[in-house]
């Protein structure tokens, strides 16, 4: 990987982070200042959502091949949802590698492309929380409950929401009256980001490396899990 490509990935991520910091429904932290690893608080502000009011800790990781390759995303607390695996990872098309997949039937337009971005991913995740895809579930039990016993499903969701509020950082003001985030932006909306990422940039210093700490095993107490790539 050339230094130009690596610089382009980091520059684009810095631009995207600055834009997202203007939004009230997401809280961003960079462990050790590493732009390739984001710790997030993803906030559900849709009043009609079963998960409304939740502050869901999550992590996104990027490679220096971004945006040619998609990031990874996982929740860092257990979420009972048809499309969330036990380790917190998601079954969601936008995080799958570019191109069509004959086996799954996914079209290229549904999967990752270099014109997508972090905001597109996060908005897709929020929409998935509200509107699960139960025909290809990651959690079969949650899918059956969502389909057959919505009352019990909503009750579980509210319990998760209440538990998640313990993770709200001290001094952080939770939004309470925002409109639900709109659908994911089209690829064309991110064209400006993509165009600027082609520039060769001088960051004026050394790159920040990955954390040395290994991720702890994910367990029912909401501890961190594996960094393995999505399936």
| Residues assigned a catalytic role | 91
3-state helix, strand, coil in the chain (%, to 5): 35, 10, 55
Residue 96 has a pLDDT of 84
pTM higher than 0.85, yes or no? no
- CB 188: neighbour CB atoms within 10 A? 8
Q: In the chain, which stretches have pLDDT less than 70?
A: 1-6, 98-110, 177-231
- Summarised one tens digit per residue, pLDDT across range 60-111 is 999 999 999 999 999 999 999 999 999 999 989 899 876 555 555 556 566 7
Exposure on the CB side of residue 213, measured as CA atoms within 13 A:
8
Residue 133 has a pLDDT of 92
Cβ neighbours of residue 106 closer than 8 Å, sequence gap 6 or more: 93, 96, 100
Residue 209 has a pLDDT of 46
List, in sequence order, every beta strand (DSSP E) within the chain: 26-29, 37-43, 55-61, 72-75
């Amino acid at each position: 990987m050339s230094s130009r490509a690596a610089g382009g990935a980091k520059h684009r991520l810095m631009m995207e982070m600055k834009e997202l910091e203007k939004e009230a429904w997401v809280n961003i932290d960079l462990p050790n200042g590493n732009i390739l690893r984001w710790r997030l608080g993803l906030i559900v502000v849709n009043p009609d959502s079963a998960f409304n009011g939740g502050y869901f800790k999550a992590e996104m990781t990027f490679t220096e091949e971004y945006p040619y390759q998609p990031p990874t995303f996982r929740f860092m607390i257990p979420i009972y949802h048809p499309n969330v695996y036990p380790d917190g990872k998601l079954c969601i098309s936008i995080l799958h590698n570019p191109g069509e997949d004959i086996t799954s039937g996914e079209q290229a337009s549904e999967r990752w492309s270099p014109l997508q971005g972090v905001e597109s991913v996060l908005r897709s995740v929020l929409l998935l929380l509200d509107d699960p895809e139960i025909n290809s579930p990651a959690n079969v039990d949650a899918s059956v409950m969502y389909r057959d016993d919505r009352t019990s499903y909503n009750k579980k969701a509210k319990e998760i929401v209440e538990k998640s509020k313990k993770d709200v950082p001290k001094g952080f003001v939770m939004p309470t009256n925002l409109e639900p985030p709109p659908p994911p932006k089209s690829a064309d909306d991110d064209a400006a980001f993509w165009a600027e990422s082609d520039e060769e940039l001088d960051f004026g210093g050394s790159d920040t490396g990955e954390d040395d700490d290994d991720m702890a095993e994910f367990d029912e107490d909401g501890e961190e899990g594996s960094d393995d790539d999505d399936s």
